Structure 1
Amino acid sequence: MGQPRFLIIGAGVVGSSLADELTALGHRDVTVLDRGPLVPGTTAMTGGSSSHAPGLVFQTNASPTMTGFAQYTAQKFGSLNQPGSLSFNAVGGLEVATTPQRLAELARKEGWAKVAGIPAELLTPAECVALHPLLDRGLVLGGLHTPTDGLAGAPAAITAQMNRAIERGAVFIGDQVVVEVLRRGGSVTGVRTADRVFRADVVISCAGFWGAQLGELVDLVVPLVPMGHQYAKTSAIESLSALPDSGRGHADAALPILRHQDADLYYRQHGNQIGIGYYGHRPMPVDMNRLYEATADESMPSMLPFTAADFDPAWAETARMLPDVASAEVVDGFNGIFSFTPDGGPMMGEHPGLDGFWVAEAVWVTHSAGVAKTMAHWITQGTPDVDLHGCDLARFTDAQLRPDYVADTSAQGFVEVYDIIHPREPRSVQRGIAASPFHARQVAAGAVFHVGRQWERPAWYESNAHLVDARHHYPADEWARRHWSPIVLAEAAATRERVGLYDMTSLMRIEVTGPDAATFLSRLLTRNVDRPIGTVVYALLLDARGGVRSDVTVARLGDDRFQLGINGPMDIDWLRRRRDAEAVTITDITAVTCCIGVWGPRARDLVAPLCSIDLRDNTLGYYKAAEATIAGIAVTMLRISYVGELGWEIYAGNADGQQLWDRLAEAGKTVGAVLAGRSALDVLRIEKGYRSWGHDVNAEMTPDEAGIGFAVGKKHDFFGREALLERPIRCRLQTVVADDPAAVVLGGEPVLVDTEVVGHVTSAAFSPTVGRTIAYVKVRPDVDIGEHVSIEYFGRTLDFTVTDPVLVDPAGDRVKGLIGVVG
């Protein structure tokens, strides 16, 4: 078979980057279509978002994946610079603080930069003004300088990559609007425009804010919202004309990009003018059916008319922050259209029901080349080269793809672009979409709810406030105490001492049924699941590189029926794509069932009197499952625990959920049971050494690197095994404990040995059992148990010691019902 024919829809900064990456890999049959003009020999200005983007490339991000995309973009675009044409101008970035909260946030961000190897330095107010003389010295408390950040010249970068791809054989054709995606069976065969048909084996949508409409052609929801964002240029500013251009010659900017995030503003130099970007205005979603009517008087369809009234607060604050600008005026402005998504991440991946149709949408210039590189690798090699759980097209549930959910959460994302977001901060819009059948009982008990996907989940219960005592003292750190309560520690301790009832309904679960179910699952999972009915197996899904895509629990409930606890919709997508000729059905049962976790040393005392089956170890042992009744209610019981204590995940149909909760809660009064929230569960699982996929483990780690090599069958053949055997150890997930009881970290902070960054914190919690903060850290493989490390927390250095992986009950006696001494 010859090389595949690739067709890219959209010749903007993503599409041109992808054409360059594909042709660099040796693929020559690459066609790029764009609805705008493409004139050979001229700078590419096709009329999409890339044509007007201000080009800010700030590399540092809370997401390591997004940081990596931005780093590659800066490096690649810098390599494309030509005399008279800058694809990247490394003027650096300067983020300033005018509030103590922002100054602290910049210290946190400096930590992220250190983890990624990005040069960054916290500056004094005087140093900030020295870098950007237009600043009012009296308003600035400090700043963060990242010298390798800069300005992407998107049209220049597009042109350079387009020309390079053309030299290798690619074809770019303008004035082509795709009106139909052609297919045969379940595979794409090409596209049709108004006057032509283009045959292709692989079609990639890089259409920018037209991407949602393009998805509709193939019955695919691409959850993005095009929104207007204000950008304006001032008239000439005399003090700018007097500044040296630092030898940049043809560049129109020498000053660093300036972000004044406390007022939702950013600034960049345009010669003797200043460009002002503003996120503080009302969200402006675009009606795509009226796009061309709304932009008829503008120079391109991605530029909406400037709304001056929305910009008034931005201008007033700019005159205050940059006094030299006060005497100027706005001479040019527009509301540029960009794409926003429900969680702020790009949309990357293949259509779940149409082979060969791929999406790379909602990608800003900042991450464009990095996204294109990963897409090229993914499409041609079958797996991405980085962890994409925050970018994968399949990451949303059906409820999260509803138009109102996409619109509201994307609008919230716009409003919060520059906000300081706490890692535990609950979403404020689209609440109450999904809840367990015992939600009303939780409300009555004073539950404080956070959100997991669309699910309302109790974080803790105010009715447990009376349980808090001196043992539950938490370090007095204002940031760490946000969206938290000492009740969390009391609930965790009560679970260890007696028993806790946990709402686990939001745990996503599926049934895999059919005569080939055991064979199918065993082929994909790292352990054989063809075991006796009633067996529960903990196993992993690996990708083709041997990385951990997910960890799952598999309960065999019948000859042809398995129930899987999974991490999210991506797992369903992964399994469905890998059905060959097997007779297998995969059904999401999350919404029609509920789950209560009953865990603690007195769990058997609580449940056994209500249960129809014998719950002793010799009849329903650890990692066993059974179908039974509790108080006459049909349930499925899995003898597993995410808190390291005796107990079960108990599943029932939604219709019986409230009654089941009531009966368990009533029986629990006799044994001192507590209702406990997900925050306590997080504390307990970290004490017990249990990893959380997506936080502590992801596809960039192997099982051994993540400390879960025990979940890989030694004699079992499975997808990814060969790659796993050949892959070297490049990191380790280690457990560390704070030397100081007052020390606390939350996640993302850099880990250092002496002064060298060796990794970062993946998750952490203060342990009421240990009396100190326990953290998981992803570090170099040579960092070993017993070693002392430092963790930088908001610029402060905290001392930790690498310990054994499990701090509480390392022998596992408690979870097996053999109650030992805690510690």
Structure 2
Amino acid sequence: MAGKRVVIIGAGVVGAALADELTARGWDEVTVVDKGALPTPGGSSSHAPGLVFQTNGSRTMAELARYTVEKFSELHTEEGPCFLPVGGLEVATSPERLAELHRRAGWNAAWGIDCAIVSPQRCQELWPMLDVSKVYGGLHVPGDGIAKAVRGVTAQLDRAVARGARLVERTEVLDVHTENGVVTGVSTDAGELAADVVVCCAGIWGPKVAAMVGLSLPLTPLAHQLAWTSQVPANAGQRDEAVRPILRNQDGDLYYRERFDGLGIGYYGHRPMPVAQEGILSCTEAEVMPSVHSFTEEDFAPAWETTRGLLPATAEAKIEEGINGLFSFTPDDMPLLGEAPDARGFWVAESVWVTQSAGVGLAMAEWITEGYCSSFDLHSCELTRFDEYQLAPDYVLARDCQNFAEVYDIKHPLQPMAEPRPLRVSPFHARQEELGGYFLEAHGFERPQWYEANANLVEGRDIPVPNDWAARYWSPIVGAEAQYTRERVALYDMTALRRVMVTGPGSAEFLHYMATGNVTRSVGSVGYNLLLDRDGGIRSDVTIARLGREEFQLGVNGHADVDWLRGHAPQGVSIQDITSGTCCLGLWGPLAREVLQPLTTADFSHEGLKFFRGKRAYIGNVPVTALRLSYVGELGWELYTTADLGLKLWDTLWEAGREHGIIAAGRGAFNSLRLEKGYRSFGGDMGYEHDPWEAGVGFAVKEAKAEFFGKDAVLDRKDRVTRRLTCLTLDDPVEVVMGHEPVFHDGCAVGYVTSAAYGYTIGRGIAYAWLPANLTEPGTSLSIRYFDRDVAATVTEEPLLDPEMKRMRC
């Protein structure tokens, strides 16, 4: 079948993969255009060393890499295979790195990637050049290997051309045309190309191409050093390009691959070397190619010294050639995938390395042709995920350079970004500092994890001290704050959560169609709803409060939700992000009403404002929107006001709460309390790939509604559940895990942990995990692989606390 007219800008590994996948689906009007000469047009693919390490803390990135291995393994050209299946080996040269390798092995087990932690002696068997005295152990992944990028480009483009695609090389794109916000074609220095779909796969030139439709891409090309040695005696006479695993020494910021009798050495330990768009030479100006800059030997000197220490045989070799090759980095280390919100038909597949290239090609082809991606969960790659402040050039540069410097660092799940901070602060920040807030970062906001002012609450409480890894970014105060919230009353800063106003004629009808719940109930109603994709997968979970006949306040998960709603809104419906101009305090605990009611003439009794209802009122002199919601499972309200009155709201509540022992509590306590109640977190516990029935939020789907977005698809999935998000408690009352660990049953990995925390009310570690449906019966015994230990766990009924919801409904 003929599809839409598609122009792919960029003929590297991503553009080639997309052309192959689109034409495989019958779309034969596909044109691939590149200003360079094929199959080495001069971008990152043309010089990439091609190392495919599948291990990744992101399940999506690991699965994209796995598909790349599978596809490249089947591709061949006249020059030979497109994949060299030599395996991968990461070695630890410190005890800390060995522990990290155990954690990484856990990721692989969770994602279904075969691997093993091996001894120093086994490392040396795999890589005889290694000085075994410097090695503590290794992570061996047999399925890793070398992707021959240029061959991969050739093979995939050849297949695309055989199905009708057209290649246009040595041709520069000058502009992308739109009409009424929709793509119509591309101008090149060789003429016009009509198009219904334009896909930017331009790599390091991505920001330049995206700017043609007014799109700002948060992407920075950075130079990365790659050197090739002369003959290494230990490899003398080697006729195959590579026979030993690709090797990583992450303690030294180094990786290695064989090239016949020599080695390729990649180095991330040098200073970040960002390159502006105007600093990328044209194909005619560049001495080698545009993505290759001159090698700076002084930056490589530490790498060569470390290499000769770890691989003594290289002492007799020398560096014969080297480059500073350009690769793309983003502020969160994830690709940029999706359709531009203000130029429909203009798609982006950027900041994709060879490792994930074929997977991204498949993902984008599915997304473009079907309207959604069925093979991978792409919520963390969404082009529209970034806030406006994250698009500031200085921010993008600082974050991308920091990510380059940390590419091989051991990163803790709670580790905040280093720079730029502080960036955003809530109106309560001064008070939080006075209380000794220990700040982490969320959506750019400084957010307290706990408060040192509450240290006195720890005495006399049973708060187990976690293991060293879990004790980072932790204090026993976290446990005290959690317990105290259930005993008395606490203030929580909820400002970092995104808020949206939907107003205008047709707002009610629009939201009623987009959400799974009943949005047309009376003014004052509040509902927990899901936004679904075309396939019935969960796009997001949102709260919708009806504040007027055509006025709604939504709590959403990010900018991608805002774009999703705007992309479907009819004319006349306004969708306004109000996060920056507003703030929110959660007032929760058994004494919350005693604090709040004396401050207002509005009725905050149970009958005056029932659970999941909202109203506007004055708290002292502060106008608020009060929603009776509780993500921590206690009596209380979310109180919203404008940013200028936020501090006054805090002070008013604080003064009134003194006689009731009010405290401020941080995010550490919040996470513990919400897991005791079984509340899901979108992006952590569930994503695009999951449906409501398996995620345990099917109650939010009102099946009796005449119509809503994704209805047929989600109902079709209801009776086909094969996995479930399941609550586990750890058998040992002092154990705790952190998330992303594999879950085992009878010695086999069967699932993986999403959210985890210690439950300070129930006195157990809690872990939510995706498991096969047949293993979700309460009482089922399982184990969680935490680094190199197996932690016993049991499937448990949820919620763990107050299943009758009496605490919140009093």
Q: TM-score, normalised by structure 2?
A: 0.98
Tell me the equivalent position of 1:53. 48
Aligned equivalents of 2:46, 2:78: Cα separation in 1: 21
- 1:418-450 CA distance string (max 9 Å, x none): 000000111110112211111111111100111
Question: Identity, % of aligned pairs?
Answer: 51
Alignment of 1:278-293 (within 5 A): 278-292=267-281
Q: 1:747 aligns with which of 728, 739, 754?
A: 739
Is it true that 1:737 corresponds to 2:732 in the alignment?
A: no
Q: 1:230 aligns with which of 222, 225, 228?
A: 225
Q: 1:460 aligns with which of 433, 443, 450?
A: 450
Aligned equivalents of 1:442, 1:743: Cα separation in 2: 30
Aligned equivalents of 1:146, 1:470: Cα separation in 2: 48
Shift of 1:326: 1.3
Aligned equivalents of 1:274, 1:534: Cα separation in 2: 68
Q: 1:567 aligns with which of 557, 571, 594?
A: 557
Aligned equivalents of 1:270, 1:295: Cα separation in 2: 29
Aligned equivalents of 1:293, 1:29: Cα separation in 2: 28
- 1:52-91 CA distance string (max 9 Å, x none): 0000101121111111100000000000035641211010
**Code of the aligned partner of 2:453:** S
Is it true that 1:526 corresponds to 2:516 in the alignment?
A: yes
Aligned equivalents of 1:293, 1:140: Cα separation in 2: 44
Aligned equivalents of 1:242, 1:607: Cα separation in 2: 81
Is it true that 1:488 corresponds to 2:481 in the alignment?
A: no
Alignment of 1:660-739 (within 5 A): 660-716=649-705, 717-727=707-717, 728-739=720-731
Q: Unpaired segments of 5 or more residues in structure 2?
A: none
Contact 1:295 1:303 in 2 (8 A): no
Contact 2:42 2:283 in 1 (8 A): no
Q: 1:646 aligns with which of 635, 644, 661?
A: 635
Tell me the equivalent position of 1:351. 340
Tell me the equivalent position of 1:111. 106
Alignment of 1:19-418 (within 5 A): 19-38=19-38, 44-82=39-77, 84-241=79-236, 251-292=240-281, 296=285, 298-385=287-374, 386-418=376-408
Aligned residues: 805
**Code of the aligned partner of 2:795:** V
Q: TM-score, normalised by structure 1?
A: 0.97
**Code of the aligned partner of 1:774:** I
Contact 1:525 1:540 in 2 (8 A): yes
Aligned equivalents of 1:356, 1:533: Cα separation in 2: 38
Contact 2:77 2:154 in 1 (8 A): no
Aligned equivalents of 1:270, 1:723: Cα separation in 2: 50
**Code of the aligned partner of 2:553:** Q
Query: What secondary structure is seen at the aligned counterpart in 1 of 2:8?
Result: strand
**Code of the aligned partner of 1:342:** P
Aligned equivalents of 2:686, 2:5: Cα separation in 1: 36
Tell me the equivalent position of 1:756. 748
Contact 2:31 2:166 in 1 (8 A): yes
Aligned equivalents of 1:470, 1:135: Cα separation in 2: 53
Contact 2:728 2:769 in 1 (8 A): yes
**Code of the aligned partner of 1:261:** Q
Contact 2:292 2:324 in 1 (8 A): yes
Shift of 1:510: 0.3
Query: What secondary structure is seen at the aligned counterpart in 2 of 1:326?
Result: helix
Aligned equivalents of 1:146, 1:472: Cα separation in 2: 42
Tell me the equivalent position of 1:590. 579
Contact 1:475 1:744 in 2 (8 A): no
Contact 1:475 1:743 in 2 (8 A): no
Tell me the equivalent position of 2:793. 800
Alignment of 1:399-478 (within 5 A): 399-478=389-468
Contact 2:224 2:327 in 1 (8 A): yes
Query: What secondary structure is seen at the aligned counterpart in 1 of 2:379?
Result: coil
Aligned equivalents of 1:791, 1:74: Cα separation in 2: 28
- 1:718-754 CA distance string (max 9 Å, x none): 1111011212213101101111112211100111111
Is it true that 1:7 corresponds to 2:2 in the alignment?
A: no
Contact 2:233 2:316 in 1 (8 A): no
Shift of 1:772: 1.2
Aligned equivalents of 1:60, 1:203: Cα separation in 2: 32
Query: What secondary structure is seen at the aligned counterpart in 2 of 1:188?
Result: strand
Query: What secondary structure is seen at the aligned counterpart in 1 of 2:658?
Result: helix
Shift of 1:680: 0.8
Tell me the equivalent position of 1:821. none
Aligned equivalents of 1:83, 1:769: Cα separation in 2: 65
Query: Residues 217 and 83 of structure 1: is their aligned pair in 2 closer, same or farther, counting only changes over 3 Å?
Result: closer
Shift of 1:186: 1.4
Once structures 1 and 2 are overlaid, which stretch shifts more, 568-577 or 2-11? 2-11
Alignment of 1:496-515 (within 5 A): 496-515=486-505
- 1:470-490 CA distance string (max 9 Å, x none): 534224400000111111111
**Code of the aligned partner of 1:744:** V
Contact 1:753 1:789 in 2 (8 A): yes
Tell me the equivalent position of 2:762. 770
**Code of the aligned partner of 1:758:** V
Q: Unpaired segments of 5 or more residues in structure 1?
A: 39-43, 246-250, 818-823
Tell me the equivalent position of 1:820. none
- 1:576-632 CA distance string (max 9 Å, x none): 11123x520000000000100000000000111112301111110100100000012
Aligned equivalents of 1:242, 1:796: Cα separation in 2: 43
Contact 2:77 2:151 in 1 (8 A): no
Contact 2:53 2:88 in 1 (8 A): yes
Once structures 1 and 2 are overlaid, which stretch shifts more, 174-183 or 226-235? 174-183
Contact 1:542 1:549 in 2 (8 A): yes
Aligned equivalents of 1:488, 1:736: Cα separation in 2: 21
Tell me the equivalent position of 1:543. 533
Shift of 1:469: 2.9
Runs of 4+ displaced beyond 2 Å: 81-84, 293-298, 469-476
Tell me the equivalent position of 1:630. 619
Shift of 1:195: 2.8
**Code of the aligned partner of 2:469:** W
Query: What secondary structure is seen at the aligned counterpart in 2 of 1:390?
Result: helix
Shift of 1:377: 0.3
Tell me the equivalent position of 1:614. 603
Contact 1:91 1:147 in 2 (8 A): yes
**Code of the aligned partner of 2:606:** D
Query: What secondary structure is seen at the aligned counterpart in 1 of 2:150?
Result: helix
Contact 2:177 2:213 in 1 (8 A): no
Shift of 1:291: 2.1
Aligned equivalents of 2:471, 2:462: Cα separation in 1: 13
Contact 1:535 1:623 in 2 (8 A): yes
